[in-house]
Structure 1
Amino acid sequence: MNVKRSLGSLLLGAAILPSLTVATSLDSDTAPQVTAEQARSIANAAERAARAQGFAIVISIVDNHGNLKHFHRMDGTSSGSIQVAQLKAATSARFPLSSRSLGERSAGLPANPYASLPGFTLLEGGLPIMDANGRHIGGIGISGATPELDAQFAQAALEES
């Protein structure tokens, strides 16, 4: 039996996402995940944020297992940004942390251990997507501007969606 639960707000550190819903099943053990509709909404908001500042970006949204839910490459982006956006999203999908905070954590440890994990990046621009109950439902990764601006566009998208 599927039930739509109101997320009320998606928590991302200081960010809050109002009025999103996620389909869950009361009869299964599967954790809630970001929906395709949510992913499209978040990507559209990220594109608006980037366009407002004159940037073209690549947006990758993945579920909480790192599987691609939505991908969008604006015209004029470099091909290298494709992989970087996907790595940022996957990093924040596998750890409920921003890619920046994971990088800062890693830099503070001997041998910078997270930097050597395959399939991860410690560049700023990846944010986890959490539901109102603190459950990790996915990640967003943006590339194409500076890492700092990528993170701003991701944050703006999550706040707007």
Structure 2
Amino acid sequence: MKTYYGRASLLMCSLLLAAPSLADPLTAAPPPSASITAEAARAMASAAERAAQAEGFAIVISIVDNHGNLKHFHRMDGTSSGSIQVAKLKAATSARFPLASRTLAERSAALPANPYASLPGFTLLGGGLPIMDANGQHIGGIGISGATPELDVQFAQAALDGDA
């Protein structure tokens, strides 16, 4: 009996040594999980603010990670309080669906009963854009509110482009 357990233990040890990630799971590299950095979010918000100021608008900027968690928020002086929630909803929409909120609105309108219009926590107004990294991986969403939906899209795009 001892010989059998000894062979089994020897076999198990040799398997664990052959596969180091099984031998020590704490040293195994975790899978990559891209997310927007705080620095990138601040830079985007600054670019959006500059674009809005150039057009004479005050806006609210909400930037979330790809799970919809708030990463950066900025409300310029002179914006309505309603724009706070709208900007958050636009960002969340584009974080949960890697689409522009306006694109989701167009898709929804083309379907019977406009199904996305009734989803809680989403909005179908223009001004929400997905944030993609250099490899095309979806890492977040930005939502702008305070101007017209068309201008909100323009300011969100300026944020993504880093325009002044």
Same topology, TM > 0.5:
yes
- In 2: Cα distance, 1:53 partner to 1:149 partner: 9
Once the 2 structures are TM-superposed, how far is the Cα of residue 131 of structure 1 from its aligned partner? 1.3
- In 2: Cα distance, 1:81 partner to 1:72 partner: 11
State the partner residue of 1:36.
38
- In 1: Cα distance, 2:124 partner to 2:67 partner: 18
TM-score, with length taken from structure 2? 0.81
Name the structure, 1 or 2, with higher relative contact order (CA <8 Å, separation 6+): 1
Q: Which runs of 5+ in 1 are unaligned?
A: 1-25
Superposed, 1:1-161 pairs within 5 Å as: 27-29=29-31, 31-160=33-162
- The C-alpha deviation readout for 1:91-111, integer Å capped at 9, x for no partner, is 000000000000000000011
Once the 2 structures are TM-superposed, how far is the Cα of residue 30 of structure 1 from its aligned partner? 5.1
TM-score, with length taken from structure 1? 0.82
Runs of 4+ in 1 over 3 A off after TM superposition: none
Q: Which runs of 5+ in 2 are unaligned?
A: 1-27
Structure number having the greater strand percentage: 1
Structure 1 or 2, whichever has the larger Rg, is: 2
- Does the residue aligned with 2:91 lie in a helix, a strand or coil? helix
- In 2: Cα distance, 1:37 partner to 1:75 partner: 22
Identical-pair percentage: 81
- In 1: Cα distance, 2:115 partner to 2:30 partner: 35
Cα 1:80–1:30 shift into 2, 3 Å:
farther
Q: Which residue type is aligned with residue 114 of structure 2?
A: N
- In 2: Cα distance, 1:90 partner to 1:108 partner: 22
* Count of residues in Structure 1 that have an aligned counterpart in Structure 2: 136
Q: Which residue type is aligned with residue 123 of structure 2?
A: T
